[in-house]
Structure 1
Amino acid sequence: MITSSANGKVKQVMNLTKKAKARKETGLFVAEGLRMFKEIPRDRIDSLFVSESFLKNPEGRKVIGSMNYEEVADDVFKTMSDTATPQGVLALVKQYAYTIDDILDRPGPALLMILDTIQDPGNLGTILRAGEGAGITGVVMSDTTADIYNPKVIRSTMGSVCRVPFVYTAGLPETLAKIKKRGICLYAAHLSGRNNYEKEDYTVDTGFLIGNEAGGLSDETAAMADTYVKIPMMGKVESLNAAVAASVLMFEAARQRRN
């Protein structure tokens, strides 16, 4: 049993939790909590840590099954944890590696979410989770977007990070040009939108551009859109939260495709 927070494995977990650089260098990320543990494909788990209290629960032992694990004293597990009320199970997981071609070559009509400098981890995680529910085929992100392996993002995805392909790009305009060459129509929610969002046809290859929470889309990214659309507002509200706006668009596309 690990009984000291000075243990090297404990320090590794804490480093991966706090530092994007450490996650990038090791190719690992931290997934904490019972729900996330159940969602992770077993072949992607590098190492598993469970608290002594978790092991005393017969259900906990049943969930772990025959997997190898490190038992951790409760007080040390609290030190490792990034949550206020740890559930007692934490895994180090191998990161996913996709290319833009992996996303563009998927069968069926494309439905892409393209994110320009989304900064809030909760927004990013919510977009992935809602996106899986809406049937998106991939997420493309500028390299100024939040780290998808941030523990807060991982928790917000509720497992969708394991199933929705995603890619970062250092040159978003160039990547958008490649996407457009594939015949994918790009839509941007914009105050200058010609039509309300539900008036467009999203049953064909489609990509939605979503901008930064404070500043919206950069001018350079917005200029790559084929069409601007509006999400009409009542009251004095001028715009929606990035994840909410993304969800409105994604689920309109899903509705059209169901019909």
Structure 2
Amino acid sequence: MLTNPRSDRVKSVRALSRRSVRSRTGQFLAEGPQAVREAVRFAPEQVRDIYVTAEAAERHADLLAAARDAKLWVHEVTPEVLAAMCDAGHPQGLMAVCRWARLALDDALGALPPDAVVCVLAHVRDPGNAGTVIRGADAAGADLVVVSDASVDVLGPKVVRSTVGSLWHLPVVTEVPIQTILEALRGRGVRLFAADGAGHTLLPYADLDGPHAWVMGNEAWGLDAQVRDACDDVVRVPIHGHAESLNLAMAATLCLYASAEARLRRPRGP
């Protein structure tokens, strides 16, 4: 059992809370039982080490059994050690150090299905919003999330916690300039929809047939005019009540679910 919260191992794990260390090592933190469970289930090859308190080990015996079956390293630690390792203020007794399997944009686009739905985050800076959009994209059945290089680091602890495990459920490409993203999607025949409050097309009337991508902008100022102009249409979510606007994560989820509904309405093959 690891008992010293000041040990070198503890310090090296906690250092992954910093973006510079994550970038240099290619590793990041997955905190909480749900994130660890999904990492073990969907991407065990990306899990380097699991740290668990005695109480959590008893509560999540099935998860740890699956981890050991996958030949993963499981280390029992004291609550003090886990608290020293974690970024979260109130750790839930379980965390993992994971490796990031970087995915190239061209490879991700080459694997898209004919009716692909893609979510693009352009200059999104809020960790909670970014993680919740990834979670919403997962829930709506999107095929890919692409995050621009001017956005928040999706491997940051707050983003990973906000995805609640969805980070391991669908491909996520990061650190690509937004214009490169848009050009690559257009080159693959994917239509581009800018989601923006200034849009003339209301979401219920958007033509979501065929492969398409939703381009979501910064929480404060939305999308740059250059990005909007590069898209095939600018779409807004209608506001029926007195609310001034929807936040990014809410708007993105509504747009992605509209795409999911459009898929369901398409005729199925024989």
After TM superposition, the score normalised by the length of structure 1 is: 0.92
**SS at structure 1 position matched to 2:60:** helix
Match of 1:151 among 131, 152, 157: 157
Shift of 1:238: 3.2
1:233 pairs with 2:232: no
Question: What secondary structure, in the 3-state scheme, does the structure 1 residue paired with 2:230 have?
Answer: coil
**2:250 corresponds to which letter in structure 1?**
V
Q: Which whole-Å deviations, capped at 9, do the CAs of 1:108-141 have from their partners, x for residues lacking one?
A: 3121111111111111111111101111111112
In the alignment, which of 56, 70, 77 is matched to residue 72 of structure 1? Answer: 77
- Name which of structure 1's ranges 168-177 and 2-11 shifts more when overlaid on structure 2: 168-177
User: Aligned in 2, Cα 1:169/1:83: closer, same or farther, shift over 3 Å?
Assistant: closer
Contact 2:198 2:236 in 1 (8 A): yes
Structure 2 partner of 1:139: 145
**1:193 CA drift (Å):** 2.2
Counterpart position of 2:221: 215
Q: How does 1:155-234 map to 2 (within 5 A)?
A: 155-234=161-240
Q: CA deviation at 1:236?
A: 3.8
Give the residue type in structure 1 aligned to 2:34.
Answer: R
**Residue correspondences, number:** 256
Q: Describe the shift of the 1:108–1:72 C-alpha distance in structure 2 as closer, same or farther (beyond 3 A).
A: same
Match of 1:16 in 2: 16
Residue 232 of structure 1: how far off its partner (Å): 1.6
The offset of 1:2, in angstroms, is 1.7
Shift of 1:86: 2.0
Alignment gaps of 5+ in structure 1:
none
Q: 1:257 and 2:240 equivalent? A: no
CA 1:132–1:50 in structure 2 vs 1: closer, same or farther (change >3 Å)?
same
Deviates more, 1:235-244 or 1:199-208: 235-244
Q: Is 2:92 the partner of 1:87?
A: yes
Question: How far is the alpha carbon of 1:234 from its aligned partner?
Answer: 3.1
Which residue in 1 is equivalent to 2:268? none
Q: How does 1:123-134 map to 2 (within 5 A)?
A: 123-134=129-140
Q: TM-score, normalised by structure 2?
A: 0.89
Deviation (angstroms), 1:184: 1.1
Q: Give RMSD over aligned pairs.
A: 1.7
Amino acid at match of 2:56: F
The 3-state SS of whatever aligns with 2:193 is strand
Contact 1:116 1:218 in 2 (8 A): no
Match in the other structure for 2:51:
49
User: Is contact 2:48–2:73 with CA below 8 Å preserved after alignment?
Assistant: no
- Residue 190 of structure 1: how far off its partner (Å): 2.8
CA-CA distance at 1:170 after TM superposition: 4.0
Q: Name the counterpart of 2:5.
A: 5
Tell me: CA distance 1:68–1:140, structure 2 relative to 1, closer, same or farther (3 Å): closer
Distance 2:124 2:99 in 1: 24
Counterpart of 2:25 in structure 1 is: 26
Structure 2 distance, partners of 1:98, 1:68, is 25
Taking a change above 3 Å as real, the CA distance of residues 72 and 175 of structure 1, as seen in their structure-2 partners, is same
Measure how far apart 1:62 and its partner are: 4.0
Give the whole-Å Cα distance in 2 for the aligned partners of 1:155 and 1:191. Answer: 28
CA distance in 1, matches of 2:10, 2:25: 15
**Is the Cα–Cα contact under 8 Å of residues 197 and 230 in structure 1 kept in the other structure?**
yes
Relative distance call for 1:36 and 1:2 in structure 2 (3 A) is: same
**Cα distance change on mapping 1:168 and 1:63 into 2, 3 Å:** closer
Q: Alpha-carbon deviation of 1:214?
A: 0.3
